[in-house]
Structure 1
Amino acid sequence: MTDQTYADRVKDANDEQFRRIVGIKRTTFQAMVELVDEDYRQVHQRRGRRSKLDPEAKVLITLDYLRNYGTFLELSFKYGVSETTARTIVERVENVLVRSGKFSLPNRNELRNAPERPMTFLIDATDTIIQRPKKNSGRTTQANATDTPSKRK
């Protein structure tokens, strides 16, 4: 067993494996890392404790969360941080990337007015059997409220 962390193994993967694991190209990943690193340096210029994780690991945690939508407990085990730290990292990196304006999804109007509208249909064709009592079944016994014994005697 090697002493490399999960983040180190992902960073050392070739470009094709990296894209398959992370979900984005390495060039896009590097652009995200630069934004996160720049923001971290600005915030921690004069104060604050240094982070145990490098910017690459922070972006990997965020992308892992967004792609797999695992729990923060899973992320904390995978990257060796606490659940709270994993949540904080995901929130901060998301905010940095959204504020940059470079990594945002198109809004509803942009998708609606696009020349090539994505056509995606999802049909749920699963058949679920629900057991319900049959009407006028002879098995059920109906009783009036007056027929039931009362405790007030």
Structure 2
Amino acid sequence: MKLDQIKELGDEKFRRLTGVRKRTFSKMVDILRKADGLKKSKGGRKNKLNLEEQLMMGLEYLREYRTYFHIGQNYGISESSAYKAVKWVEDTLVKHPNFALPGRKALMKSDMNYEVVLIDATESPIERPKKNKNSIIQERRKGIH
């Protein structure tokens, strides 16, 4: 579905497709536009996708949890470009105070009863352990009897 078609959907269908309301979507685009202006002030190559498409791609990833390869194919970009765009959208929105969740201490001090439970099930990149010389030598010694 193209972005023009998605924007023409009613409020309820838009929310069912993206997971956010149109009003929230436009606020997200404004936040990304400000962050993109700061990023572009340093120069560099233009993105193939505009900000709305990058945000849609990020929401699609979070909503449907499809692979970056499949999302990239839908938008006509590579898997690595899809990863970079989704990661930038996530990081930019998480850093903004409008989308930041209160900390544990703030939740404990407040008198409000929360009825919502959030579970973060997104991938978190980790580094593989480095192979050092000592572990390789010990493996060789174990093999020789």
Is TM-score (shorter-chain normalized) higher than 0.5? yes
Consecutive unaligned residues of structure 1, counting only runs of 5 or more, are 121-153
**Aligned match of 1:64:** 60
Structure 1 pair 67/110, CA: closer, same or farther in 2 (3 Å)?
Answer: farther
Alignment of 1:119-138 (within 5 A): none
How far apart are 1:33 and its partner, in Å?
0.4
Which moved further from structure 2: 25-34 or 74-83?
Answer: 74-83
Alignment of 1:74 with 2:70, yes or no, is: yes
Deviation string, structure 1 residues 17-36 (Cα, Å, up to 9, x no partner):
11110111111100100111
Alignment of 1:68-147 (within 5 A): 68-111=64-107, 115-118=112-115
Deviation string, structure 1 residues 20-71 (Cα, Å, up to 9, x no partner):
1011111110010011111112211251111121111111111111111111
Match of 1:41 among 25, 37, 48: 37
**Secondary structure at the residue paired with 1:102?**
helix
Q: How many percent identity over aligned positions?
A: 33
In the alignment, the residues of structure 2 paired with residue 41 and residue 66 of structure 1 have an alpha-carbon distance, to the nearest angstrom, of 24
Aligned length: 116
**Aligned match of 2:25:** 29
- Larger Cα-atom Rg: 1
Tell me the TM-score normalised to structure 2 length: 0.69
RMSD: 2.1
Contact kept, 8 Å, 1:18 with 1:25, in 2: the verdict is: yes
Tell me the TM-score normalised to structure 1 length: 0.66
* Runs of 4+ off more than 6 Å: none
Contact kept, 8 Å, 1:97 with 1:103, in 2: the verdict is: yes
Q: Which has the higher helix share?
A: 2
Which moved further from structure 2: 39-48 or 84-93?
Answer: 39-48
